[in-house]
Amino acid sequence: MNTASKIKSRTEALDEITSWKARGEKVVFTNGCFDIVHMGHVDYLEKARNLGDRLVLGLNTDASVSRLKGPLRPVVNESARARLMAALSFVDTVILFDEDTPKELIEAVKPDILVKGDDYSVETIVGSDFVLANGGEVKTVPLVQGFSTTSLIEKIKKSF
């Protein structure tokens, strides 16, 4: 399988998601920057996927990451980050989004389950109100402590 084929435009992804839902499959959605992929990311995404049948990953574009994290980020460009995410067996589709939040993408995907890490509360998760109002669920999953891209970058800086 060519895992790059899991990286889809919004339109392509929505067509695929519609067919999954028509077959009764539960669609899980999560999002993030996923800059410098580490074990915490893998653990989080695997837990998210285990909540349903399909995992749709909204991935911030480079411009979006820079606005959120600062001008020196991302470290890894969007095409490389998308390819890395698509290579994970438990990620079914990757959709890039350029907005500051995934709100529009969540409203387009209409996931059965919206997931973020437990550093969020359900009330603070962008799109939770929409998902709940449309009969979906919003869940948090435990994060592995000690893993973050920011802390990895700081550790690398200290080694020089």
Dihedral, 24, 5, 42, 84 alpha carbons, nearest 10: -170
* pLDDT tens column, 13-68: 999 999 999 999 999 999 999 998 888 899 999 999 999 999 999 999 999 999 99
* Cα–Cα distance for residue pair 3/1, rounded to 1 Å: 6
Pairing of strands 93-97, 113-117: unpaired
* pLDDT tens column, 16-31: 999 999 999 999 999 9
Of the options 3.40.50.620, 3.90.550.10, 3.40.640.10, 3.40.50.1860, the CATH number for the domain spanning 3-158: 3.40.50.620
pLDDT computed for residue 53 by the predictor: 98
Question: Do the beta carbons of residue 65 and residue 80 sit within 8 Å?
Answer: no
